[in-house]
Amino acid sequence: MTISQNRHTSISSAFIVLIFVAGLLVGGIATFFVAYREMSRLQGDVSNLKAEVSRLAGNQNVTYQNITIYQNNTFLIELYERVKDSTVLIQGTTSSGSVQGSGFVYNFTGTLIVVTNNHVVQNTQSLSVTFSNGDGYAATVLGRDPYADLAVLSVPDAPTSEFKSLDIVSSSTLRVGDQVIAVGNPYGLVGSMTTGIVSALGRTISEQYTGNFLIADIIQTSTPINPGNSGGPLLNFAGKVVGITTAIVENSQGLGFAVPSNTIRRELYSLITSGSYTGHAYLAIGGNDMTYETAQNLGVNVTFGVRIVNVIVPGPANSAGVAAGDILIGINGTRMRNMDEMSSYLVEKTLPGETIIAEIIRKNGTLQKLEIQVLLGTRPPPP
């Protein structure tokens, strides 16, 4: 082999080695790039997981903080300081003596008023409102509705600075178990505060000023309420009005009642501008709650609803063909378990002049389920 051939062979070998080394380098770079991308992706996933864990931990801390606030007595002290100047003492004279109750200040689109119960001002010959600072002024009734036990007062001589208004929010969000607060003047003890829970919703109560009509859609509460509390605000734990305390059951332990704020909001405009409220729908029936025992006695298998015992003539139900002995089990597709639910539905969901579908069980030899259209009337004026 010549020198030229040896040199050519060495160059070829070197070239092959160079190609091999280049291949290793390219492969290494490619492998590193793939590994780098995978590591970056994994690091991103880890960062996302850390952010999610941090977010969950933050939410958990907020929950614990809320619980701490609600259980902290300092919170109630601060809330009382915010609302105490909005509650007033109402005093009046009647032909038989004197009356007193509570009320709260509200700003209705620029009109400063005091909201209270109708039974606090019923048959009064003179009225006064005393604010928390002790300043008292003569008051007049702007409007009242015995069927909802609501009244609105004007205090024309009081300066604007006296009126520390509360906010009224929807009572639709209330649930049994919600914590509530009552502020009022029980037995004349001005500015008293009590706490409790919502113990039931959709109750009905009766007052001597409503004739045979029930006051419906009432909040039941364990918050202690005593004579003199009537007309004071029932507040949620944000200090907003969700009701107005109105009645107690004598000799009961922690059983009070309040008109819901939805009723107040619905009626205020009419009470202020016209002095009354005429939006109570009228079905014109009387009845009793169905029970298992009643169903057994009647020979029917319906253990819920309202057994109609009388139909007022003339009246909307009578005109539609509803009869005594019928069992009302639903309105507009909503199940009616008892009188409370029927009365509350009519108050909350209907107005005079609307047509409802009454679902009736009628025993006429055999049981029949009927759907009867009833054009609701307007409740007669209070007695």
What are the catalytic residues?
Answer: 119, 149, 230
Q: Which two tokens stand for residue 126?
A: 């003179």
Q: How far apart are CA 152 and CA 88, in angstroms?
A: 13
Six-digit token string for 97: 């003596």
Q: Give me 216's structure tokens.
A: 């419906």
Residue 171 neighbours by CB under 8 Å, 6+ apart: 219, 242, 243, 260, 261, 262
User: Would you say how long the chain is, in residues?
Assistant: 383
| 56 contacts: CB under 8 Å, gap ≥ 6 | none
Quote the CA–CA distance of 208 and 212 in Å, as a whole number. Answer: 9
| The token pair that represents 1 in the structure block | 């082999």
Give the H/E segment covering residue 126.
strand 126-130
- Rounded to an integer, what is the distance from CA 250 to the centroid of its chain? 26
User: What region, left, alpha or beta, does residue 299 occupy, with left being phi > 0 and alpha being psi -120 to 50 degrees?
Assistant: left
**Vertex 198: Cα angle to 350 and 255 (nearest 5):** 100
Q: How many CB atoms lie within 10 A of CB 380?
A: 12
